[in-house]
Amino acid sequence: MFDYLRDPQEIYAKSFATIEAEADLARFSKDERPVAIRIIHACGMVEMADHIAFGGDVIAAATTAFQAGKPILCDAEMVRHGIISRLLPASNPVLCTLNDGNTHSLATALETTRSAAAIEGWRDHIEGAIIAIGNAPTALFHLLEAINEGRMAKPAVIIGMPVGFVGALESKEALITHANGIPFVTLRGRFGGSAVTAATVNALARMARGDDATPDGTRDRKKGGLA
Active site residues: 41
Sheet holding 157-160, edge to edge: 52-55, 184-187, 157-160, 130-133, 72-74, 94-96
Q: Which of 127, 123, 125, 201 is nearest to 161 (CA)?
A: 201
Please list the residues that pair with 160 across neighbouring strands: 133, 186
The continuous run of DSSP H or E covering 88 comes out as none
Q: Which of 93, 133, 137, 96 is nearest to 113 (CA)?
A: 137
- Chain centre distance of CA 67: 17
Q: What is the DSSP letter of 131?
A: E
Q: Which of 38, 89, 88 is nearest to 195 (CA)?
A: 38
In angstroms, the CA 170 to CA 187 distance is: 11
In angstroms, the CA 180 to CA 144 distance is: 9
Burial class (CB in 10 A: 0-12, 13-18, 19+), 139: buried
Q: Which of 76, 171, 211 is nearest to 131 (CA)?
A: 76
